[in-house]
Amino acid sequence: MFFPASGTAYRDVRYPWVGRPADRPALAIEPAPTGLTVYASWNGATEIARWQVLAGASAAALVPVASGPWAGFESTIAIGRGAPVVAVQAIDQEGRVLGTSAPVSDPA
């Protein structure tokens, strides 16, 4: 390494960074042989420890039915059928809800 004759240099300082997206988590569902496959993601979020799947007869009647660990950009969770509306919540290590997706209707 060398410094230019002007004596100026670029210095990079590393600080802890937390990503908190302004948008909501994303959700997709797909029929599976034993129920539904739920795909959850939230591009840019850095504090997600796990996903909680909510399901119910309507968007106003959602209750937790399953959860799974955060697994990178897109996490996959299998659930059974029975509820026509599904949503996901991003949960941090302390159990706090970071964000909730818009509800999605079961395609079946």
- Residue ranges and CATH numbers for the domains of the chain are 26-105 (2.60.40.10)
Per-residue pLDDT tens digits for 6-27: 666 566 667 788 889 999 999 9
For residue 103, pLDDT over 70 is answered with yes
40-78 pLDDT, tens digit per residue, is 999 999 999 999 999 999 999 999 999 999 999 999 999
* pTM of the predicted protein model: 0.83
* pLDDT in the model for residue 39: 97
The CA-atom distances, in angstroms, between 28 and each of 3, 14, 19, 43, 62 are: 52, 35, 22, 14, 16
Beta bridge partners of 32: 35
Q: How much is the pLDDT for 83?
A: 81
Q: Residue 13 has what pLDDT?
A: 64
pLDDT, position 52: 98
